[in-house]
C-alpha cells in the first residue's frame, strides 16, 4: 500500500480565537507527527467555500462563531464535486454548538481550548472520516449534489420557483412514484428547498417510498390545526413537516405526510368547503418558504383537496400510461377539467410513464388520444424491476440507482423544473478522482 499523504487542513476561526489558532500553528509545523498540513486560515464565513477549494483543503476546522457563516456550507463542502471536504467543529463545550454542527453535517467536534491532545484527536478523526467519505463517494450508494456554485455556472436557462401537482384520473399509473422522485431529485440532488405534499385523499403512500414513519404529524393534523385556529401561517405549516435525511445528512427535502386512515378525508378538517380552504391556505403558506412545492394528488378531481391542488398549482403534470384505458380516462378527465376552467393556457403537461415501444402505442397516438396535447416527457417502464427494488428498499429510484434508464428519465423530468440537474450525470462520472489523489 502506498504511503498516505498529509491531510490538508483549513482553519476557519474568528480573530477572537487567536489563542487556539496559535496552538494550531505551533503544532502544525512542517513534518509534524500528526500528518496534517495547515493549508490556510480563514476569518470570514462568506469566503470559506472558495478558500477551501483554492487551498485544496481535505478538512476544515470550523468555529460556529466565524462571522458571516452559513451552516449550509458544511453540506456543500461534503459534496464538493472534486472530492469530499470534511468539517470538524471547534466549539465552546458550555454551548450546544457541537450537536448543531454535527446535525449540519460536521463529522466531529473538538472542545475549546485547543490542546496538543485535541489536535491528535483531530488527526485521527480526520483520517478515519476521510477514508470513509472517499470510499462512500466511490461507491454506488453515493448521491452527488449540485453545489450552488456549480449550479450557478450550469444554470443557463434560469428556472422558476413553483408549485407542481402530479395527477391522473387513473390509479396505479405512477403519480406517487413520479412526484416522489422529482421531489428527491430537486431536494436531495440539487439541494433546493423542496416540500413534497402527500395530498392523496384515497390512500397516502409517499411515506412508503421514502421509508418515513407515518404516525405523528401529517396532512390531517395540520388540517385539524387550521380548523381550530381559523388561519394558516408558514411556521404552522412547517411545524407539521418531516425532514428527509440521507443517512445522517440533512437534505433540502421536507415532507407533509399523507392520511394514515382513509376515513379522515371525510372528516370536517378536510371535507367540502373547509378542505378546499385548507389546501388553498396550505399552498399559500408553503410557497414563500420553498423553491418547489410538489403535490401528489389523488385521482378523483371532485374531492375538494384534489380540486384545490389542481387549481392552485402552477403546472399540473398529468400522468398517463401507454394503455388504451389510461389514455381514454385522461382524455375524458381533460375535457371535464377544461369545462371546470382548470386547464387554461399551458398549465397541464403530459408525462407518459411506464413507456415502452412494445406496447404498440406511439408518441403520435398518445398525443392524438389526448386531443393533441403535447407530451412533455416519457419515463421508461423499468423492466429490470429497478422500481420495485427501490420501493422495497424505501428509497426513491433516483437515489437508489442513478444509472437505471428509468432514473435517468426521472432526472430529465425533474430538469424540466430545474435545468442544472442534467449536469448531475457529469458529476457522477468524475467522482473517483479525489480518492486516488489522497490514497494512491
Ligand atoms: N416507470 C415505472 N416502471 C416500472 N414500474 C413503475 C414505474 N412507475 C411506477 N411504477 C410502479 O407502478 C405502481 C404504481 O405506481 P404509483 O406511483 O403508486 O401510482 P399511483 O400513485 O398513480 O397510484 C408501483 O408499484 C410502482 O412501483
Ligand atoms: Mg399514489
pLDDT tens digits, one per residue of 394-422 = 899 998 888 788 998 999 999 889 888 87
> All 3 cell numbers of residue 409?
428519465
pLDDT value at 1 more than 60: no
pLDDT value at 427 more than 70: no
Q: Which residue has the higher pLDDT, 43 or 145?
A: 43
The CATH class for the domain spanning 148-434 reads alpha beta
Residue 36 contacts residue 122 (beta carbons within 8 Å): yes
**What mean pLDDT, rounded, does the chain reach?**
88
What pLDDT is recorded for position 426? 56
Task: Identify the residue whose cell numbers are 458571516.
Answer: 68
Arithmetic mean of pLDDT, 320-324? 91
Which ligand lies nearest the alpha carbon of 354? Answer: 1
Arithmetic mean of pLDDT, 52-77? 93
Arithmetic mean of pLDDT, 351-371? 87
Arithmetic mean of pLDDT, 27-33? 92
**Pick from 3-12, 52-61, 298-307, 308-317: least confident:** 3-12
Q: What is the CATH number of domain 7-139?
A: 3.40.50.2300
Query: How sure is the predictor about 343, in pLDDT bands with cuts at 50, 70 and 90?
Result: confident
Same fold: 7-139 with 148-434: yes
Arithmetic mean of pLDDT, 173-195? 95
326 lines ligand 1 (CB under 6 A): no
Q: Packing angle between helix 386-393 and helix 405-415, nearest 10 degrees? A: 80
Which ligand lies nearest the alpha carbon of 205? Answer: 2
pLDDT value at 327 more than 80: yes
What pLDDT is recorded for position 344? 75
From ligand 1's centre to the CA of 176, what distance in Å? 7
Which ligand lies nearest the alpha carbon of 379? Answer: 1
pLDDT value at 149 more than 60: no
Each domain of the chain, given as residue ranges in start order, spans: 7-139, 148-434
Residue 117 contacts residue 95 (beta carbons within 8 Å): no
| Residues 161, 348: Cα–Cα separation, whole Å | 17
Ligand 1 atom with the smallest distance to the CA of 354 is 1
Q: Which residues contact 73 (CB under 8 A, 6 or more apart)?
A: 45, 48, 49
From ligand 1's centre to the CA of 304, what distance in Å? 24
Q: Which residues contact 333 (CB under 8 A, 6 or more apart)?
A: 168, 169, 301, 318
397 lines ligand 1 (CB under 6 A): no
From ligand 2's centre to the CA of 203, what distance in Å? 7
299 lines ligand 1 (CB under 6 A): no
164 lines ligand 1 (CB under 6 A): no
CA 435 remoteness from chain centre: 25
What pLDDT is recorded for position 362? 83
Query: How sure is the predictor about 151, in pLDDT bands with cuts at 50, 70 and 90?
Result: low
Q: Which of 160, 150, 166 is nearest to 421 (CA)?
A: 150
pLDDT value at 275 more than 90: yes
* Residue bearing the CA closest to ligand 1, atom 10: 174
Ion ligand 2: residues, Cβ under 5 Å: 175-176
Residue 361 contacts residue 322 (beta carbons within 8 Å): yes
**Pick from 27-36, 67-76, 150-159, 406-415: least confident:** 150-159
pLDDT value at 157 more than 60: no
Amino acid at each position: 500500500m502506498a504511503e498516505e499523504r498529509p491531510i490538508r487542513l483549513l482553519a476557519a476561526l474568528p480573530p477572537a480565537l487567536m489563542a487556539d489558532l496559535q496552538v494550531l500553528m505551533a503544532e502544525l509545523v512542517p513534518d509534524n507527527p500528526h500528518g496534517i498540513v495547515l493549508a490556510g486560515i480563514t476569518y470570514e464565513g462568506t469566503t470559506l467555500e472558495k478558500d477551501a477549494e483554492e487551498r485544496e483543503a481535505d478538512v476544515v476546522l470550523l468555529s460556529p462563531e466565524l462571522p458571516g457563516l452559513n451552516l449550509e456550507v458544511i453540506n456543500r463542502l461534503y459534496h464538493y464535486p472534486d472530492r469530499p471536504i470534511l468539517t470538524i467543529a471547534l466549539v465552546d463545550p458550555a454551548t450546544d454548538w457541537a450537536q448543531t454542527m454535527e446535525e449540519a453535517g460536521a463529522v466531529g467536534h473538538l472542545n475549546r481550548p485547543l490542546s496538543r491532545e485535541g489536535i491528535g484527536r483531530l488527526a485521527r478523526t480526520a483520517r478515519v472520516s476521510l477514508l470513509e467519505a472517499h470510499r462512500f463517494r466511490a461507491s454506488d450508494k453515493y448521491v452527488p449534489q449540485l453545489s450552488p456554485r456549480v449550479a450557478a455556472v450550469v444554470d443557463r436557462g434560469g428556472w422558476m420557483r413553483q408549485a407542481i401537482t402530479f395527477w391522473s384520473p387513473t390509479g396505479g399509473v405512477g403519480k406517487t412514484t413520479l412526484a416522489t422522485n422529482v421531489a428527491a431529485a430537486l431536494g436531495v440532488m440539487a439541494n433546493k428547498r423542496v416540500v413534497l405534499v402527500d395530498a392523496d385523499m384515497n390512500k397516502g403512500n409517499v411515506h412508503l417510498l421514502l421509508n418515513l414513519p407515518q404516525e405523528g404529524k401529517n396532512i390531517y393534523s395540520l388540517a385539524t390545526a387550521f380548523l381550530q385556529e381559523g388561519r394558516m401561517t408558514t411556521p404552522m405549516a412547517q411545524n407539521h413537516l418531516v425532514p428527509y435525511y440521507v443517512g445522517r445528512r440533512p437534505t433540502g427535502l421536507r415532507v407533509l405526510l399523507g392520511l394514515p386512515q382513509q376515513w379522515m378525508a371525510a372528516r370536517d378538517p378536510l371535507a367540502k368547503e373547509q378542505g378546499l380552504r385548507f389546501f388553498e391556505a396550505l399552498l399559500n403558506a408553503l410557497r414563500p418558504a420553498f423553491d418547489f412545492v410538489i403535490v401528489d394528488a389523488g385521482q378523483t378531481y371532485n374531492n375538494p383537496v384534489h380540486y384545490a391542488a389542481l387549481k392552485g398549482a402552477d403546472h399540473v403534470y398529468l400522468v398517463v400510461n401507454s394503455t388504451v384505458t389510461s389514455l381514454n380516462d385522461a382524455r375524458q378527465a381533460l375535457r371535464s377539467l377544461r369545462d371546470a376552467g382548470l386547464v387554461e393556457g399551458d398549465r397541464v403537461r403530459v408525462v407518459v410513464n411506464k413507456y415502452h415501444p412494445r406496447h404498440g402505442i406511439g408518441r403520435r397516438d398518445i398525443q392524438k388520444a389526448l386531443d393533441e396535447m403535447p407530451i412533455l416527457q416519457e419515463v421508461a417502464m423499468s423492466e429490470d424491476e429497478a422500481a420495485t427494488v427501490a420501493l422495497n428498499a424505501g428509497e426513491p429510484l433516483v437515489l437508489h440507482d442513478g444509472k437505471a434508464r428509468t432514473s435517468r428519465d426521472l432526472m430529465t423530468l425533474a430538469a424540466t423544473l430545474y435545468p442544472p440537474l442534467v449536469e448531475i450525470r457529469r458529476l457522477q462520472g468524475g467522482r473517483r478522482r479525489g480518492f486516488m489523489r489522497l490514497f494512491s
